[in-house]
Amino acid sequence: MAQPTTPAPPQPLPMLAWDDIVLHQEIGRGMFGVVSRGEYLGTPVAVKEVFRLPDVDFAKYFEREIRALAEARHPNCIQFMGIVRRAGGGDCIVTEYVGGGNLDDWIRGPKPFPWRQRVAFAQDIARALAYLHAQDLIHRDLKGSNLLVSETGRVKVCDFGFTRLRAKTADERKRLTYCGTDAYMAPEIMLCMNLDASVDIFSYGVILLEMISRTNAERFRRVMPGFGIDPQSIPVPPDCPRPLLDLALSCIADESAARPTWRTILDTLKTLDVDDDIDEDPLEGCMTASTSRMSLADLGPSTGKVTHAHPLHLVLPKLPSIEKCAACGKRMGMHRRMACREKECGYVAHRRCVEGHGDGVGNESGDELASVAASRRESGTAENGAGAGV
């Protein structure tokens, strides 16, 4: 009879030296901590100092966040680098630095936000949450300020302070506590009912509606007594792709069992066919050529056909010339040159060799340029011997 396997003990977390950290400016502050931009051994990082609040179990909160960060090894989750203890004794969490702002900046800011970019963001968030749920982790505080955007236009989920293991039994579901941000909360959280991982899907649906309408979720009206969101309170633009709106509305279903799975969400997003111009810089609201071809292909329909691919603008390097300067006799190489305008004349010279001879050399005839070259060559021979190619 096979013996039951015991779970492996958690791996020790990497401890970083405070002397290796250089702190720069503060970039964010919340109820539970402050985040500063910094460097760790030359690498840009974000350093989060967690506050020791009197009514919060600091050790439990801190342990929960760092364990979740360590488990969240996914391209669309913030990369955990380690823990550092400040000189004054405070513990800090060190993660990669993501410099493109957060999703709220895109939703509420003036920059262009094409539908193709919104779908790309929706895919990134769904991939991250699907991964977390597969690891039995529930985020429980999904919102725009916790979704960072990289310089290449990719979304990364951060702030795992409320993350906990997914409940697997009815008794565990009863122990899941009230937490999160009101505008993104599922009805079952507000009503203090038993809840499960689908609360993240509800929050995800609210974020989709924010991206669709470019409206703060606090403006979405809640309907009593169930605390569901009234679809009539959402300003939907006329050019919104209908499948995207339908997906968002299905995610905010009042009943958790009626919400789609992550597989259904990802399949729906993959089949969306939106048509936008995406030729601008990502920090101005669009995708760039630096975005991988794989991510571009993911935005095409399920047939695998890429509907819009950003062209690659290749610039071949200039090759060094083996022609010899008519003035000094050395190879032209990569240096700037001056040539005679007469096509039949083969005289070329380094710009530096003929510039000092007089103004307008580049506009003179072939005979005059030849004269300049000859005089330069003679002076060079007198000083250095016969000019030789290098």
Could you list the residues known to form a binding site, using ranges: 48
Q: Please state the residue numbers annotated as binding site for ATP.
A: 48
Q: How far apart are CA 334 and CA 62, in angstroms?
A: 58
Task: Tell me how far CA of residue 80 lies from CA of 21, 29, 37, 92, in angstroms.
Answer: 15, 19, 15, 12
Paired tokens of 343: 């096509």
Active site residue 105: no
> Residues, the chain, total?
390
Paired tokens of 253: 């279903």
Active-site position among 141, 159, 196, 200: 141
Q: How far apart are CA 212 and CA 390, in angstroms?
A: 64
- Smallest CA-to-CA distance from 207 within 106, 343, 351, 324 is with 106
Q: How far apart are CA 275 and CA 116, in angstroms?
A: 7
- Smallest CA-to-CA distance from 219 within 123, 62, 101, 108 is with 108
Q: How far apart are CA 211 and CA 248, in angstroms?
A: 10
Q: Which residues, at least 6 apart from 70, have a Cβ–Cβ distance to it below 8 Å?
A: 11, 13, 80
The amino acid occupying position 103 is: L
Q: Which residues, at least 6 apart from 87, have a Cβ–Cβ distance to it below 8 Å?
A: 18
- Smallest CA-to-CA distance from 334 within 321, 347, 351 is with 321
- Report the relative pairing of strands 80-85 and 15-16 from DSSP bridges: parallel
The answer to whether residues 312 and 289 touch, using CB atoms and an 8 Å cutoff, is yes
Q: Which residues, at least 6 apart from 316, have a Cβ–Cβ distance to it below 8 Å?
A: none
- Secondary structure (3-state) at 387: coil
Q: Which residues are catalytic?
A: 141
